[in-house]
Structures are given as structure tokens and as C-alpha cells.
Structure 1
Amino acid sequence: MTATLAGLLAGTDANSFAIGAPGRAWLTYGALRELAARVVEQLHSFGIGAGDRVAIVLPNGPEMATAFITIAQAAVTAPLNPSYRLEEYSFYLEDLKAKALVVMAGYEGPAVVAAESGGIPVLRVETRPDFLAGQFSLSGPSAQASSTAAPGPDDVALILHTSGTTSRPKIVPLLQRNLVASACNIGASLALTPADRCLNVMPLFHIHGLIAAVTSSLAAGASIWCAPGFDALKFFGWMKDAQPTWYTAVPTMHQAILSRAARNQDVIDAVPLRFIRSSSASLPAQVMLALVDAFKAPVIEAYGMTEATHQMASNPLPPRAQKPGSVGLAAGPKVRIAHEVENRLVDGTGEIVISGPNVTPGYEGNPDANAKSFFEAEGERWFRTGDQGALDDEGYLSLTGRLKEIINRGGEKISPLEVDGVLLDHPAIVQVVAFAMPHPKLGEEVAAAVVLREGHTATERDIRDFAASRMADFKVPRRVIILDEIPKGATGKLQRIGLAEKLGLAAQ
């Protein structure tokens, strides 16, 4: 198998199911390969070939999955969030130097307006009710045919931007071989086989869904049932229809699913999951244990980021232990701890660094960021993740938090994850995010936003007293904000950075 997406799909049984969706017949691997050949030919007729960048703005679902997999066999894919505004599309299309934009037939939203004002051709995904899940054809303006050379292992397959919470988003190019390495790493961690089926509820403009759900399943010859996004009210109906062996999600999604698990016990019993996977944010130990109890299945927490083509570490499958609060063992790349300032590896707590074939070659057009993020030590090239953590005696990795999110209270460093863990033990609290708020003398002070369980009550004083009985005084939140909902990012992750400002605490 060559280390390309085309090579990844080459040997799978043509009659095996690949892509499914609500109310649609299954797309087989044979049909997926035929679709890829047709899409590649159509792109060439539009003047698009290897190295050209194609922005994709499609709703979550089977067409987004197949568009990514097929377009990446001819060109560079750049999925964008369908919820962006005009200004954001204008920025990203220009920043990417997009050669074309792919949207659904009939879509005339801000992505098209941005593309047309930038002189970027718009290609339309056309589908019909009788098409198999994910089947489509492309229409667009014809152009001088491009080179028909297929992308190789060292060609860029996928471009994503970092979230850019504190600075201009950075461009992360991921090579064909990066995608293949990561898909195979995830498949090995989860022991995926053609008998497995993933119920995908993750957005497919994000590395988690693209690689952990879609590409790793295809690498194993398994199947993916593509939901049209995440909806806790529909999850168990989808589970009944899809008959999955697993699903992967972020912690906030797991919590929403848990809130409806008891009333859907019949579905849980009828569709036993082999495992549940969690990634993209730290899974509170309380949520992990509640999932195990509800689904009677192991919960595999993994640790990922865009620059690593998703997975870096993963809790192992039984019979090895899943440690609540740990993101598991190195699962693909080498994982070590580095000094947070000096370019050297250390023991104990420090910045988590990785090295391996799934790691991006570097940020595009950003030598300063590359100089800060990569260094050589012990014969390896290491990437700084920006996360603080430590490895235990068995090699399990625990995170303290993002280095930028560690709260510095007058020189005392406080892990927001530790504060989260304590407050989640309060019987009235269902969700919490601790964060730094400015303080005129200490620099930063601890604050926390919480959501209360339905039917429960608690005051700020109650919650602070509870925390004070379980942790040192300097770690106790000085402000507790009780909310109906905590602000989340586009992929469902709770946002710590900038939360003080959003909640009107920045000037205090």
C-alpha cells in the first residue's frame, strides 16, 4: 500500500459497506473507488490537480465525508466551517490561496459571495434522492485541463487552520503520508476490523471527525454511518438505525448523550457498543465513569491535535487499564516531556512533545512559529504541543492543561483541569470550566463557570465552600458564574481563553 489515500482504499473488498447515512442505501468500497475516479477526472477537467487547493463548505453528512476522501485523491482539501460569516470566508479563502470552492447545488450563502468576489470558481456537489449515501457529481466552469499526475505520499492532502484563539490562525498542512500514518495508528489503538461501524456525529471540517471517524474506518475496511451533525435528541434513534460498534465525540457531546441514556436503555441493550471514544478536550473522570456505567462498554479517551493529524496518545482497550483522568499511552508518535523554555527533554512535569510520521512538517509561511514549535533532541525532531503534563511509571500521560490556560495567581500555578475535577464532584453541578480572570495585584485569579443539573440548586457561596473543603485556598475560585450554558467553540469544546472577557470579568 502506498502512503496515500488512494492507496489506503485500494485493497478493500468492493462489496463491503463504506459510507451510510439516514434513509440512504449504503455506498460500497467499490462504488467509493468509482466515485473517486470520477471526481478526480472532473477536477482535472476544471483545471484542478495535485497541489491546487480546494476549499470545501458542505453540511455534515455523507457527501462531506466522500468529498474529502475523493477530492484529496486529486488535489489539496481545505474544509471550512459552514457556520462562518462572509468576512471569515473572505479571510480563509485568500489565506489558503484556494483554486476553487466546493458547495452543495443551490447554496448561495456567504461562502459563494466571498469566492465570487475573489474570482474563485465555484464547484457544485449535485446529488439525487436515489443516489447511494455520499454519491455525488461535480459541476462547474470548465477550464484548461490540469496535469493528471496523482498526489504522492509527500504531497499535501489536507489543510486546516489552528483555532487562533489568541493570535492569527496558523496554516497546518498535512501530507498524504501524515493522514495514512494517523489513520493506521488510530485503527491499531482501537483494533478496528471490517466488522466495525462508526456512528459519526463529529463535524467534518475538523481533524477529529475527518481522521478518527472517517479515515481510520476506511483504512480498516470498516464502515461509517454519517449523521447530519450532533443532536442529542436524535442520537439514540440514529444508534438504532446505524447499528454501530462505536462512536467518537467530545466531552460536551458525551454529557448530552448521558442525559438521555436512562430513557433509551432499550437501544443501549439492543445495540451493544464495543467501545466509546472521547477526544479533543479532557474528559472529566466523572463523565468517563458515568459512560461506562450507562453503556457497559469501555471508554477510550484519546489525546489529539491538528498538527499531529489528530491522535497522539490513547487509553488502551481492555484488558489493559483505562485510567480516568489520563489520556493514555503513546499511540503512534513518540511522546515525551520537554522543558517549557529550553529545547531539551526532561523528566517530571513539563511541555508535552511528540515526534513521528503523523506530525505536520511545519506551519506554512510562518518561520517564527516553526522556530518556537520544533526542536531537535536525541536524534529526533520534536513538536511542542503547547500542553503541560506528565507521564506516570506505566507510561500513561496526564494533562495539566494548555500552557496558555494555566492560571498564574501571583506566582502560584493552578491547573484549570484540577479545579474542574473538584467542582464536578458537587452533586448540583453537571458542567464546569475553570479559567483565569484578571486581578489588579495577583495578575490572575481563579474563576469558574458552571451549569447546574436539572432540578438542583446551589449558590456561588455553596460551590466555593464545597471547593474550599477539597483544595488549597489559593486554588478555590474567587468567582463562580452560574450559567444555563457555557460558551463552546465550533466543535463543541468548552472555551477557557477569552471566557473572562465574554462574561464581563475582564476589567475586575
Structure 2
Amino acid sequence: MSQFSAIAEMLSDGDAKAPAIGAPDRRDMSRGELAALARRVGADLRGIGIARRDAVAIVMPNGPEMAAAFLAVAANCVAAPLNAAYRADEFDFYLSDLDAQALILPAGAESPAREIAAKRKIRVIELAPDLAGPAGAFSLSVPAGGDVADAASPDDVALVLHTSGTTSRPKIVPLTQRNLMTSAGNIARTLALTPRDRSLVIMPLFHIHGLVGALLSSLHAGGSVFCPSGFNALKFFAQLDEAAATWYSAVPTMHQTVLARAKGNAEIIARRKLRFIRSSSASLPPPVMKELEATFGCPVIESYGMTEAAHQMASNPLPPAARKPGSVGIAAGPEVAIMGEDGLFLKSGEVGEIVIRGANVTPGYANNPKANAEAFRDGWFRTGDQGVMDGEGYVSLTGRLKEIINRGGEKISPREVDDVLMEHPAVAQIVTFAMPHDKLGEEVAAAVVLKDGTAATERDLREFAAQRLADFKVPKKILFLAEIPKGATGKLQRIGLAQKLGLSS
């Protein structure tokens, strides 16, 4: 067995003096300093009995310390980042389900996770930032350890995350050292990342998009990251300026928020010319892609990812290859195919379930044979997404299978309705969803946010949709909201929205 894990070896590769992690008003941490920190953390954890297959929960706000802590823990054992905004009952479930052997919290932080850990006799490790040191530097409240003699192998689990659990109990997704390094390499190649690239990390670092799509992919390519304390629309452009970033990755709702403040920051946009912008984790409406490209003067690369694939599955390529608005691109690492209900592969143009296989795909859900039996078919992982592949291999999503609206036997893709209504000049955001109906079972509804300074009525939007959609696809109820409820990572969520908005009985 190697003395170092795959992640630790990746951190040790390249120029030790090159920047790795930056943050506002801090000097950069170099790759050499980050590699040394990971080795020290590994020794400290081994010194208190944490083995390479033990799970260590991390409950930290976004920022350079969270980035460094994740990398250091994942390089030595099993990192389990959790959303710091969880309530006590959520921490109770996740810490128990993970069988966490330790919990890392900011020193002195008040968190319900602390009380839950005490109740469950989980060791609490306090993380104290070293503000005199480089961005991300910290110490742990444990005795200094010795050498790390128990390095993780490529097939050891490095990261565990839970599925969203929107329709069922959340499932544990274990991702191995090999899964993570494969996916990070796939993303780096897709985006042609180099040591000169620097990513502004605004996605949460308890989410696969932030952890792999921005952080690990950058470091895999020898580049660096700049980690503010989360996404703040008021500070985004100042952070972009200070970071001298060459790219950032985000979900569509974040891109739309950025666009709303772009006009007042034209000077920064011109000075900090981005090489590209990446979008993932939800479908990017073509009008938003068009506006982003016009505003920033760079290509917008929409990609397709999910936790079980260690993030990336498909991506639109960089120019001069074609980017297709409304498409999530071509296979970008794993094999991607469209499968019918009978398990047979479908031809281009035929709609079915998107399936994948490759070295980035999880070996299977932890302790859940039933879920694994349902998720894997003949060695292919079933994504649960419905889609279609064109003759050039570009994949377009038509919806989540569980989100398809069944209106009296008529199957409606919410994404199709979204795309039509996003073309209305007054619509800034929309999410189409199913609401209960006593005779049809489900009916089509939509929640809409209008652009500032515009006006539209429910009748206006229904008439607009009726010109482009069959009658049964036109929303029967349209709600106008100041903000659409989102999940913890900024994604718009269809399932359960009718209940949240008071439209279910």
C-alpha cells in the first residue's frame, strides 16, 4: 500500500510553492502548505484512534478552513460534510446514520450538532483557524500525532454524502478515492484547466458540486481556488475582483442573482475577464445562458452531474466545439446511454432513462441492498432522470422520472413547461410542479418570479403558454412569488412544492 492516499498524493504533486487556497484579505496557502496540513491532520486523527475507514463529520461554514478541512480529512479517512444549518433532529439522524466516529466544529461554535454528539458519545474536535497563517490554516483540539502508517487505498471511501431524500429516506452515497480523483480529472479535462486557472468557490462545500466541481477539479489540474464565506450577491463582484478568478461554477438560481447585479459592475467584469462560466446541478434556461454569455463575454458551459457519479456525467464542450443551449452536453467521463423500461438501449431521438457507468460512479449505496437492486441494471447506474440523446451524442433532460406530472394518464415534463414560460419577457424564474387534483390525480401548476419593473397576470402567462403547448400542459394555476423556495444548495425543488405553497389538500 502507498504511504499516501490518492488525494494526499494529488495535493503533493506539482509546484509546492504554487497557490492552492485563497480567501478575502488572506495570503494564499501554497500546495506544499496544504499537503503538509493534510499530513498533520492525518497524524492527529490516527493519534486519537481514527482509522482510514472511519467517518468524520465536518460541520463548518463555507470558507478556506472548510475547504482545507475537507481535503485533509478526505485524504486520510472518510469525510462527511454536513450542512451547518441543519436542526437538531437532522443532525441526530445524519450522525447516527453515518456512524460518525468524530465531529469537527469551529472552536467555540454553538451548534445543535454539539449536543447531539454529546448524546451519542461522538468525539467533538474543535477547529481553530490560524488567522496569522495562510488562507485555510487551522489547528485541531487533539494531541499532536505521529506518522500516518495507515494510508487509504484507491477503493477506500473518502467521502460520504446523503441523497436529498425528497421522496424517501435519504440514502448514504459512498465515494471512493478513485471515484473522486476520476471525476476531478474528468472535469479538469472538460474545462481544459491549467495551473493558471483560479476558481471562485461559491457553491456550498457540503455539496458534491462545490467539493468536486469547483474545489477538487481545480487542485487536480494544479490550479487554485478562492473561498469566501459562502455566496453573497452583494459581495460577489468584489470577491471576483480580489480573487482574479478565471471561472466559477454555480446553479442557475445563483447565475440569475449575479446577472441582476451585473450592470453596476461592468468595470469589474471587463477587468477580470473570465475564461468561461460553468453551470450544473439544475437545468439552465437557454435565455439565462444567452444573457450570461452576452454580459460576461465568455462561453457558458452547462454540465450534468449528480452525487452518485461524484458529480460530472456529461458536459457541453469548450469552443470551438458546439455548445447546445438546453442540452447538458456529451458524455464527459463515464459512459452515458438512454435505456427503455425493458432494459434495452434506445436510439438517438428516443426518450428514456439516462444510465451511466464508469470509474467515477459510486460502488453502491451503503447498507441498502434494496436501493442498490433498484439503482443498478446490468452494471449501469440508473440516474432517475428522463432524457434524450441526439445523433451527435448531446443529451437533453426532459425531467426527473419522479417529477413527471401524470394528469389523468397524460405525462407532462415540467421542464418543457419551464422552457416555454421562460421565454416570456416578464418571467425571471419559474418552476412547474404537480398539484393534487380530485379527478385527474395531478394537475399542472407553476410558481413564477417576475423581472423587476415588469408586470404580467396569470391570464397573460396562460395565454402565452397556450400558444406553444397543448392545452393539457398549460398550467391551471400560476402563483406569483417574490422568491421561490429553494433547497440548501440553491436548487429549485419541484417535489413537495405544492404542499409548501398550500396547494395540496
Say whether the fold is shared (TM-score over 0.5).
yes
Q: Deviations over 1:13-61 (max 9, x none)?
A: 0010000000110000011111111111111112112101100000100
* Aligned residue runs from structure 1 range 202-351, under 5 A: 202-340=203-341, 342-347=342-347, 348-351=350-353
Q: Provide closer, same or farther for how the CA distance between residues 134 and 147 of structure 1 changes in structure 2, counting only shifts above 3 A.
A: closer
* 2:275 partner letter: R
* 2:346 partner letter: V
Q: Distance in 1 between matches of 2:421 and 2:138?
A: 48
Contact 1:46 1:142 in 2 (8 A): no
Q: Provide closer, same or farther for how the CA distance between residues 50 and 146 of structure 1 changes in structure 2, counting only shifts above 3 A.
A: farther
- How many residues align? The count is 501
Contact 2:128 2:139 in 1 (8 A): yes
1:73 is matched with which residue? 75
2:370 is matched with which residue? 368
Contact 1:49 1:148 in 2 (8 A): no
Task: Find out whether 1:423 has 2:425 as its counterpart.
Answer: no
Contact 2:131 2:137 in 1 (8 A): no
Q: CA deviation at 1:93?
A: 0.4
Q: Deviations over 1:184-232 (max 9, x none)?
A: 0000000000000000000000000000111011100000000111111
Q: Deviations over 1:233-287 (max 9, x none)?
A: 1100001100000000000000000001111110000000000000000000010
Q: Distance in 1 between matches of 2:110 and 2:432?
A: 40
State the SS of the aligned residue for 1:324: coil
Q: Provide closer, same or farther for how the CA distance between residues 147 and 21 of structure 1 changes in structure 2, counting only shifts above 3 A.
A: closer
Q: Distance in 2 between matches of 1:138 and 1:129?
A: 14
2:45 is matched with which residue? 43
1:449 is matched with which residue? 447
Q: CA deviation at 1:408?
A: 1.2
Task: Find out whether 1:11 has 2:9 as its counterpart.
Answer: no
Q: Distance in 1 between matches of 2:263 and 2:5?
A: 44
State the SS of the aligned residue for 2:415: helix
Higher alpha-carbon deviation: 2-11 or 92-101: 2-11
Task: Find out whether 1:386 has 2:388 as its counterpart.
Answer: no
Q: Deviations over 1:364-395 (max 9, x none)?
A: 1111110111011xxxx100000000100110
Task: Find out whether 1:93 has 2:95 as its counterpart.
Answer: yes
Task: Find out whether 1:190 has 2:197 as its counterpart.
Answer: no
Q: Distance in 2 between matches of 1:3 and 1:258?
A: 41
Contact 1:408 1:414 in 2 (8 A): yes
Q: Deviations over 1:120-156 (max 9, x none)?
A: 000011123212100111113799x998310010100
Q: Distance in 1 between matches of 2:133 and 2:12?
A: 23
1:359 is matched with which residue? 361
Q: Distance in 2 between matches of 1:54 and 1:343?
A: 38
Task: Find out whether 1:156 has 2:154 as its counterpart.
Answer: no
* 1:375 partner letter: R
Task: Find out whether 1:414 has 2:412 as its counterpart.
Answer: yes
* Aligned residue runs from structure 1 range 469-484, under 5 A: 469-484=467-482
Contact 2:5 2:75 in 1 (8 A): no
Q: CA deviation at 1:492?
A: 0.1
Give me the identity figure in percent: 61
1:133 is matched with which residue? 135
Contact 1:197 1:246 in 2 (8 A): yes
State the SS of the aligned residue for 2:338: strand
Unpaired stretches in structure 1, ≥5 consecutive residues: none
Q: Distance in 1 between matches of 2:286 and 2:354?
A: 21
Q: Deviations over 1:414-455 (max 9, x none)?
A: 111111111111111100000011111111111000001111
Q: Deviations over 1:43-82 (max 9, x none)?
A: 1112112101100000100111111111112110000000
Q: Distance in 1 between matches of 2:232 and 2:357?
A: 36
State the SS of the aligned residue for 1:383: strand
State the SS of the aligned residue for 2:14: coil
* 2:406 partner letter: N
Q: Distance in 2 between matches of 1:224 and 1:272?
A: 16
* 2:463 partner letter: D
Q: CA deviation at 1:162?
A: 0.1
Q: CA deviation at 1:470?
A: 1.7
* Aligned residue runs from structure 1 range 115-134, under 5 A: 115-134=117-136
Contact 1:48 1:146 in 2 (8 A): no
* 2:48 partner letter: F
1:466 is matched with which residue? 464
Q: Distance in 1 between matches of 2:427 and 2:255?
A: 16
Contact 2:65 2:137 in 1 (8 A): yes
Q: Distance in 2 between matches of 1:339 and 1:3?
A: 39
Q: TM-score, normalized by length of structure 1?
A: 0.97
Q: TM-score, normalized by length of structure 2?
A: 0.97
Root mean square deviation of aligned Cα: 1.4
Q: Provide closer, same or farther for how the CA distance between residues 226 and 427 of structure 1 changes in structure 2, counting only shifts above 3 A.
A: same
* 1:33 partner letter: A
Q: Distance in 1 between matches of 2:60 and 2:344?
A: 43
* 2:163 partner letter: T
Contact 1:49 1:147 in 2 (8 A): no
Which of 485, 488, 491 pairs up with 1:487? 485
* 1:244 partner letter: A
Q: Deviations over 1:463-496 (max 9, x none)?
A: 1111112211111000000011100000000010
* 2:345 partner letter: L
Higher alpha-carbon deviation: 464-473 or 94-103: 464-473
Q: Distance in 2 between matches of 1:107 and 1:118?
A: 18
Contact 2:354 2:382 in 1 (8 A): yes
